[in-house]
Structure 1
Amino acid sequence: MDFFNQFKIETPESVELEFTLAGIGNRVYAFVIDMIILGLIITILLIIAAFFLFNIPIISSLFGIEEEQVSLWILAIQFFIIFATYVGYFVLFETLWQGETPGKRFVKIRVIQDNGRPITLQQATLRALFKPVDDLFFLGLLFVILGKREKRIGDWVAGTLIIQEAKGKKGTDLTVSQEAENLTKYLQNNTDLSRLLPEDFAALRRYLQRRDEMFTEARMELARKLAYQVKDIIGLQEIPEGTTSNLFLEAVYLAYQKQV
């Protein structure tokens, strides 16, 4: 029996990825953490706004503007800054942290595109702009509960969904060569394996698990494509001379496991 809402995506490289949706509990948990952080930030902004409101007579005399107009301007600016902070918090973190906010990172969930790729700035912005709509009368929560893909309105508009992060398994679910183990230390010292996203690792693991089922030509071509993609992601200038694509991918698989 499957207790988790899972779905599969086939990448352009014909690698099938399986994701587990984050679930309503994890999403609410992450949301609460983010709201606590946002609440602290907004409280500071309100304190600053209160300082200006208490000094309206001084500001009025300084700029030659009526006190009532000064008050309205301060309230309008305060509203704009709070809204921009609320929206910008999610846009900033989900863009820079590749689909995570502090709350999502703590709970180990992230936002991705419907095709399994990392979220873009435009999608993060759309999600954030529709967040007030989702929060109104708990509409977003209702959509998540009733929808098969657990999407709120912002997710439908932006073409995104939230998944549970798939970390590398410590078990021996596939066989790798001794040469790959020897190359692992080199990769740990000369690359940034943290840049390899969980979904990237999932694609790598799935290839290594299913490569024996492929025809030789198809296996070699797919291995070559994946090797060059992984090389660029982890910041490796060149694959060591004499290292085959399969050997390189095995070594990356082992090195990633040791650092998660």
Structure 2
Amino acid sequence: MTSQRENSLVVETPEGVRFTMALASPAARLLALAVDLLVILTIAMVMAVIFSLMSLISGQLAAVAFILGYFILSIGYFWLLEWAWRGQTVGKRMFRLRVVDAHGLKLHTDQIVLRNLLRFVDSLPGLYFLGGCVSICSRRYQRLGDLAAGTVVVRQKPPALPDLSRLPENKYNSLHEHPHVEATLRQRISPELAMLAFQALTRRDQLEPTSRARVFAELASEFQTHVKLPETSLYGVSDEQLIRNCVESIYRQVQKRADGAESQLATA
């Protein structure tokens, strides 16, 4: 720990591409945690009603089942949601927070498991007192679970609409023939990844040929881990062209909606 505070996570790839994410403050994390605990409490109350019916058969069995169910819920809630929603829970989504790897790498399942296993330690002696103190003193607002797992919590800005005219010219986008794939891209590709791909496209001429090919190969691989693209959309398409097609497909519909909203406001 150090007194030198960092307010943002700056990641630079080996190819020289830099991007910055604002770190979430302890106050914002506390608010998100309060929402998550409220969700857990609500689910626990529903469980209590269900297990109360079991008490008609055996009160002791119902009590044991409820304790076991609550234990699984309190742990599994954070594990499952942070895994399924790529580092987010209900509270984090509400306050636009996300758990990410501290070095800008892909968040792994073992990191999610480790950071949440240590919640019990962070919550000592109660109300996350220890975790809160460590977070306040930590250079990157990390609690013990984050320090052990090598993670940080960042604050997401509302996604900005990029200028699609800055994309490389293209007469044909092979993904336009697959509207369901474009919809899946908009659903599964995070705003951060989409914006990183857009920035890579607009800065492609600044990269050496070898680095340029490596960047777009890694981006293409990352996109295809989230969305299975049709073979017909990949035939004869380079990694760079594929990323261009994906980015244009992601933002095209969003841009149309924004233009439509502005048009309605102008005529109102």
Q: Tell me the TM-score range normalised by the shorter chain.
A: 0.7 to 0.9
- Which amino acid letter does the alignment assign opposite residue 87 of structure 1? I
- Normalising by structure 2, report the TM-score: 0.75
Q: 1:144 aligns with which of 129, 135, 138?
A: 135
Pairing 1:185–2:179 present: no
* Matching residue within 30, 33, 42 for 1:31: 33
Residue ranges of structure 2 left out of the alignment (5+ in a row): 1-5, 255-268
What is the distance in 2 between the residues matched to 1:102 and 1:190? Answer: 26
Tell me the distance in 2 between the aligned counterparts of 1:36 and 1:177. Answer: 47
**Which of residues 121, 131, 146 is equivalent to 2:119?**
131
Picking from 12, 17, 20, the partner of 1:18 is 20
- Larger radius of gyration between Structure 1 and Structure 2: 1
State the one-letter code of the partner of 1:213: Q
- Of 207, 210, 233 in structure 1, the residue corresponding to residue 203 of structure 2 is 210
Equivalent residues in 2 for 1:1-260 (5 A)?
Answer: 5-11=7-13, 15-50=17-52, 55=56, 59=58, 71=60, 75-136=63-124, 137=126, 138-165=129-156, 168-172=159-163, 175-179=166-170, 182-183=173-174, 185-186=176-177, 188-191=179-182, 192-193=184-185, 194-238=187-231, 239-258=233-252
For the Cα contact (< 8 Å) 2:122–2:144, is it kept in 1?
A: yes
Contact 1:22 1:109 in 2 (8 A): yes
Give 3-state SS (helix, strand or coil) of 1:179's partner: coil
Is the CA contact 1:140–1:152 (under 8 Å) kept in the aligned structure 2?
yes
Alignment check: 8 A CA contact 2:114 2:145 kept? yes
Question: Which string of whole-angstrom CA distances, capped at 9 and with x for unpartnered residues, describes residues 67-96 of structure 1?
Answer: xxx75x765554333222111111111112
1:52 shift after superposition = 5.4
Q: Is the contact between residue 87 and residue 99 of structure 2 (CA under 8 Å) also seen in structure 1?
A: yes
* Cα separation, partners in 2 of 1:217 and 1:76, compared to 1, 3 Å: closer
Instruction: Report the Cα offset of residue 236 of structure 1.
Output: 1.0
Q: Secondary structure at the match of 1:19?
A: strand
Structure 1 stretch displaced more, 129-138 or 93-102: 129-138
CA separation of 1:94 and 1:48: change in aligned 2, threshold 3 A: same
Query: Are the equivalent residues in 2 in contact too, given 1:180–1:248 (CA < 8 A)?
Result: no
AA in 1 matched with 2:209: T
Q: How many residues align?
A: 243
Q: Would you say the 8 A contact 2:167–2:202 is kept in 1? A: no
Query: Structure 1 pair 170/119, CA: closer, same or farther in 2 (3 Å)?
Result: same
The 1-side partners of 2:165 and 2:112 are apart by 36
Please report the TM-score for the alignment, with normalisation by the length of structure 1: 0.76
For structure 1, the 5+ residue unaligned runs are 60-69
Find the residue that maps to 2:69 and give its secondary structure.
helix
What is the percentage of aligned positions where both structures have the same residue? 26
User: Within 1, Cα distance between the matches of 2:94 and 2:85?
Assistant: 12
Distance in structure 2 (CA, Å) of the matches to 1:156 and 1:45: 33
Distance 1:111-1:224 versus aligned 2 partners, 3 A rule:
closer
Query: Does the aligned pair in 2 maintain the 1:111–1:162 contact within 8 Å?
Result: yes
Inter-partner Cα distance in structure 1 for 2:139 and 2:165: 32
Q: Which amino acid aligns with 2:247?
A: Y
Q: CA distance change for structure 1 residues 96 and 206 in 2, over 3 Å: closer, same or farther?
A: same
